[in-house]
A and B are shown apart, each in its own frame.
Chain A
Amino acid sequence: MNQLIERFQLCIAEGNGTELAEIFSTKAPASNPGLFYDLRQGSNAQQIEDYIHYTITPRNGFPFDSAEVNAWTEVFVNYWKAVGELISLHESTDQGKLRDGQFGEVYDVWKAYTNSLIKHHNSSVLPFWTIPCLYKALTELRTYAIKADEQSVNTKGNVTFNTGLQDDIVSSVGKNEKLEDYARVLNRVFNMCLQDRAPIEYSRKWGTYYTANLMFKTYFKLNAISLSKNMVQAINAQFDMPPLHRFPNSEIVTFKYYIGVMTFLREDYVQAEKNLTEAWQLCHKSAYKNHQQILTYLIPCRLITTHKLPTSELLSPYPRLQALFGPIAACIRKGNLAGFDAALSAGEDEFVKRRIYLTLERGRDIALRNLLRKVFLAGGYEPLKEGQTEADLIRRTRIPTAEFAAAIRMGLGADGKLLEDDEVECMLANMIYKNLMKGYISRERAMVVLSKTAGMAFPGTGV
């Protein structure tokens, strides 16, 4: 215990929040693996409070007033209690004998410890620079919440039946009891940070984006992504918030990434592209996984907004992305419909897991556009009339629907035989409707009449 107090005193004297956070760890440091046992054996539930209270006084060189002495005492006592549960958790894990609900118990004691930090931050007894302790406590609490829920689903199943006065038999499915509870704890911290009125140099407002990012993570995990929107709005509504760029880059990147994904899922691809691109540019060079994560959404996003596909240079450092997008991108490029369908269904599980399936699916339009464009190119030029030169060459813009139909049937391979002519027309109509092809269908003449203006028949593709 003394060793811990000494480290504590040093951090307090230096005002080093990051080091301070390390003291309240969930694992004994590698340099002193027996620390937790020493802590528990060095005191008992009756004595611990008096001991700490007596030790961290101004008399012993701590610069605390009585309120802060009480606050830290509470924090230490709660941490000490949590250490007891942590020891038994580590032991049960090592022996492979986890009790039912054990993670839930750890969650509860760690939450009590976290709450003591929140409480004294909320009343501004603990100085703002010690907030990294809270960050760390929250990060760990999240892990325990998730594990506790996993454990309870494994033991109790994920269906809860009604036993009371309800009309229907099932009350809820797929409970995330602890993680939901965690979200509430987190929400308190978020609001505390956001609404802190202290002068900006001492303000907990600097903790806003850190907690916001944790909330994003939690809401995504809870499948309650729409709630992130309220949080973002709350930040935007806070008029005296320091500008985002003054926060640490790591926080900006994470924040932009989540905003990007959030807008991506709302199908606001323009906003999504903007935020993801900013995240991509700010992301630290060595943050390989983060780059990969950003690209996972940025690539489908750009497929929709600008019909751009990733180059192989872009993908080559990321074998996972290469596998994910490589085949489907190649098929889109070539206008290979059958290949596209196969690639989409081959990657379905992975795409769905990352929530990009429904977006990538729309890439089929681009594949089809590329195929039709080839038909157009193969159609060649209108024959030159008297007196015209090479410079006057214009492409043949009246194309029988049958030519397109033949191309699509070929492109679909075996499935092409089932394709009806009306469906081909429907596909062509779609191309025109979506502005991927410019012109109109004349049913009377069974002909597609494409734009004569050079470069306008298939906008953005040069022809």
Chain B
Amino acid sequence: MAQPQPVQKNKVDWSKAVRDYVQRAFAQENNVAGVSREEVQEKLKQVITAVAEKGMMDDVDWASHPLPQQFVLQDRRRALGVDGQQNAWPTPASHLADPLHGHTNNASLSPSKKRKSTDASLTDHPDDSQPPWRKTNSRNMFEDRITYANQGQANRVDKKQRKNKEKDNFINSKFSPAELEKRRQRFGNISTDVTPPWASPRTDDAEARSGPVVGTCQQLEKRYFRLTAPPKPETVRPLPVLEQTLALLKKKWREEKNYGYICDQFKSLRQDLTVQHIRSAFTVDVYEIHARIALEKGDLGEYNQCQTQLRALYSQNLGGHPEEFLAYRILYFIHTCNRTDMNDMLADLTPTDKNDHAVKHALAVRSALALGNYHRFFRLYIDYPNLGGNLMDKFVDRERVAALANMCKAYKPFVKLSFLSFELGFESDRACLDFLVQKQAQHLIQDTDGELCFQTGKAGLLFDQLRAQAFAKVDIKGQI
């Protein structure tokens, strides 16, 4: 069934060994769950091309050569390892030892993670090193989320990642499979049965370094992309250049308001700061500005990443505007209905915090909603400090529904639309009307003596149901 098209298209006469290898790659019994046929196909092409380019088609032992799906899995694992671990760069020592002890990686190869052996379960396995509460939605984890301003950008980045992957494969193919085969022969038989050659880590001179990079790049603008290898100094911008970059980005944002571009640029800016270990007032500045821009565009995912970072940076007393962002944090917890974090935040408040104008506003919002005091809530919604309103926009709809549920039960037989519009903080009666229509409540609106009225008494459970829906699913990430 599995006739490999790409290989056949090349009108090259492959040896029987290679053809068998291809056959094997697509054979039913070698299917690996989660690895698609396309992936296998692409990988297969790369593997064979790499070997062919080195002119080693006949040197490779195709019968025992690892299958493309295994390479795919390996790539994925590596991607995970690099993303998830703090010290993804192996130390020089562990590095040297690896080719010989490569089979220690074997453990993670076995599909089942369950360990029966008592001994093994007692040692600390590295794959457990991330405790589950780090994996949950706790604020620590937000930093791992990437958001893209819009679909277009996401696609672009996808493309980039694909490119990146290709690059990765290239590095990979530089060492495996042909060279590894050679190496295997060099090391004799020790590794043939225990060490899968593809499990050997990349050896790269740059990898041994884990200290800060000293950048030399002089260009102001740079596209973001996620690092999978230590950056080259010539691609990293030093602090003086970054300062100019920030000025440029601020200007561009004011003039062009192109969020996709700005977000991308800020991410590369943040990355350059990170790889150079720059933790200063400038760092705070960058994160604050990015957070504000994200808020302005309502990109809560990106905002939250910045917020997490800022919180830690503020604890280092590097300056900035901790109160402004504390207020945002409170509003964010209201949005996510996160009682636990809200309580922790209240526990951390100092009397100075509580006296800050913005913090006071956010706390007042919290308390108004806790008590169901919609009247006060919507007064606070109209009059807010900084960018608090942008955050409140995220949940104002939900709170309007809640307030309506409340009013429909309490007021009989009707209230004037102008009253409703005022109480719910609408800009105009028209906006209020649109909202009601949008909520399928147009049948409750009536013209009485030339004035529009809303028949609260007849609304029944409509808004109760809407309210339950609105609170049932809160998009915690708030990503766009």
Selecting from A162-170, A235-243, A307-315, the interface stretch reads A162-170
Q: Which of A202-235 contact B (CB under 8 A)?
A: 219, 222-227
Asked if B437 is at the interface of the complex by the 8 Å CB criterion, the answer is no
Asked if A245 is at the interface of the complex by the 8 Å CB criterion, the answer is no
A432 and B86 contacting across the interface, CB-CB below 8 Å: no
Asked if A28 is at the interface of the complex by the 8 Å CB criterion, the answer is no
Q: Which residues of B contact A357 (CB under 8 A)?
A: 343, 346
Selecting from B42-50, B152-160, B179-187, B403-411, the interface stretch reads B403-411
Distance (Å) between the CB of A79 and the closest chain B CB? 16
Q: Which of B359-374 contact A (CB under 8 A)?
A: 367, 370-374
Asked if A273 is at the interface of the complex by the 8 Å CB criterion, the answer is no
A165 and B227 contacting across the interface, CB-CB below 8 Å: yes
- Closest residue on chain B to residue A355 by CB atoms: B343
Q: Which residues of A contact B140 (CB under 8 A)?
A: 172-173
A170 and B375 contacting across the interface, CB-CB below 8 Å: no
Number of B positions contacting A (CB below 8 A): 77
A433 and B415 contacting across the interface, CB-CB below 8 Å: no
Selecting from B4-12, B127-135, B164-172, B322-330, the interface stretch reads B127-135
Q: Say which residue of A115, A171, A430 sits within 8 Å of B372 (CB atoms).
A: A430
Q: Which of B264-321 contact A (CB under 8 A)?
A: 267, 270-271, 273-275, 277-279, 283, 305, 308-309, 311-313, 315-316
Asked if B244 is at the interface of the complex by the 8 Å CB criterion, the answer is no
Known: A353-B347, A433-B410. A426 touches B270 (CB 8 A): no
A169 and B270 contacting across the interface, CB-CB below 8 Å: yes
Q: Which residues of B contact A331 (CB under 8 A)?
A: none
Asked if A443 is at the interface of the complex by the 8 Å CB criterion, the answer is yes
B277 and A352 contacting across the interface, CB-CB below 8 Å: no
B88 and A165 contacting across the interface, CB-CB below 8 Å: yes
Distance (Å) between the CB of A262 and the closest chain B CB? 11
Selecting from A82-90, A180-188, A406-414, the interface stretch reads A180-188
Q: Which residues of A contact B309 (CB under 8 A)?
A: 168-170
Q: Which residues of A contact B273 (CB under 8 A)?
A: 169
Asked if A361 is at the interface of the complex by the 8 Å CB criterion, the answer is yes
Selecting from B96-104, B116-124, B472-480, the interface stretch reads B116-124
Q: Say which residue of A181, A427, A441 sits within 8 Å of B373 (CB atoms).
A: A427
B122 and A115 contacting across the interface, CB-CB below 8 Å: yes
Q: Say which residue of A161, A165, A172 sits within 8 Å of B230 (CB atoms).
A: A165
Q: Which residues of A contact B218 (CB under 8 A)?
A: none
A223 and B406 contacting across the interface, CB-CB below 8 Å: no
Asked if B87 is at the interface of the complex by the 8 Å CB criterion, the answer is yes
Asked if B393 is at the interface of the complex by the 8 Å CB criterion, the answer is no
Asked if A123 is at the interface of the complex by the 8 Å CB criterion, the answer is yes
B412 and A430 contacting across the interface, CB-CB below 8 Å: no
Q: Say which residue of A119, A222, A429 sits within 8 Å of B407 (CB atoms).
A: A429
- Closest residue on chain B to residue A123 by CB atoms: B118
Q: Which residues of A contact B220 (CB under 8 A)?
A: none
B347 and A122 contacting across the interface, CB-CB below 8 Å: no
- Interface residues on chain A, size class: 35 or more
Q: Which residues of A contact B343 (CB under 8 A)?
A: 352, 355, 357-358
Q: Say which residue of A122, A167, A170, A353 sits within 8 Å of B313 (CB atoms).
A: A170
- Closest residue on chain B to residue A219 by CB atoms: B133
Asked if B52 is at the interface of the complex by the 8 Å CB criterion, the answer is no
Q: Please encode chain A, from 142 to 180, with 1 for each CB lying within 8 Å of some chain B CB and 0 for all others.
A: 000000000000000011111111111111110000001
Q: Say which residue of A119, A181, A223, A226 sits within 8 Å of B118 (CB atoms).
A: A119
Asked if A423 is at the interface of the complex by the 8 Å CB criterion, the answer is yes
Question: What is the bound-complex CA distance between A118 and B118, given in angstroms?
Answer: 9
Known: A169-B283, A352-B347, A420-B375. A432 touches B410 (CB 8 A): yes
Distance (Å) between the CB of B282 and the closest chain A CB? 11
Asked if A62 is at the interface of the complex by the 8 Å CB criterion, the answer is no
- Closest residue on chain A to residue B464 by CB atoms: A433
- Closest residue on chain B to residue A429 by CB atoms: B410
Q: Which residues of A contact B230 (CB under 8 A)?
A: 165
Q: Which residues of A contact B274 (CB under 8 A)?
A: 162, 166-169
B133 and A180 contacting across the interface, CB-CB below 8 Å: yes
Known: A119-B122, A161-B277, A352-B347. A430 touches B371 (CB 8 A): yes
Question: What is the bound-complex CA distance between A432 and B457, given in angstroms?
Answer: 13
Asked if A428 is at the interface of the complex by the 8 Å CB criterion, the answer is yes
Q: Say which residue of A118, A163, A183, A442 sits within 8 Å of B277 (CB atoms).
A: A163
Asked if B387 is at the interface of the complex by the 8 Å CB criterion, the answer is no
- Closest residue on chain A to residue B139 by CB atoms: A173
B86 and A171 contacting across the interface, CB-CB below 8 Å: yes
Distance (Å) between the CB of B394 and the closest chain A CB? 21
- Closest residue on chain A to residue B278 by CB atoms: A169
- Closest residue on chain B to residue A443 by CB atoms: B415
Asked if A440 is at the interface of the complex by the 8 Å CB criterion, the answer is yes
A180 and B371 contacting across the interface, CB-CB below 8 Å: no
Distance (Å) between the CB of A384 and the closest chain B CB? 28
- Closest residue on chain A to residue B406 by CB atoms: A433
Asked if A81 is at the interface of the complex by the 8 Å CB criterion, the answer is no
Q: Which residues of A contact B413 (CB under 8 A)?
A: 442
Q: Which of A357-381 contact B (CB under 8 A)?
A: 357-358, 361-362, 364-365
Q: Which residues of A contact B211 (CB under 8 A)?
A: 163
Question: What is the bound-complex CA distance between A168 and B371, given in angstroms?
Answer: 38
In addition to A423-B373, A426-B374, A443-B419, 20 A-B residue pairs with Cβ atoms within 8 Å of each other are: A119-B118, A159-B312, A161-B279, A164-B210, A167-B146, A167-B227, A167-B274, A168-B274, A168-B309, A169-B309, A171-B86, A183-B131, A219-B133, A225-B340, A349-B347, A365-B371, A422-B422, A422-B423, A433-B405, A434-B372
Subset of 29 A-B contacts with CB under 8 Å: A115-B122, A122-B121, A163-B210, A163-B212, A164-B85, A164-B89, A165-B82, A165-B88, A165-B229, A165-B275, A167-B274, A169-B274, A169-B283, A170-B143, A170-B313, A172-B134, A173-B315, A180-B133, A184-B131, A224-B136, A227-B132, A357-B346, A362-B371, A423-B373, A429-B406, A429-B411, A432-B410, A441-B411, A442-B412
Q: Which 7 A-B pairs have the closest CB atoms?
A: A429-B410, A224-B133, A426-B375, A440-B412, A170-B312, A165-B227, A432-B410
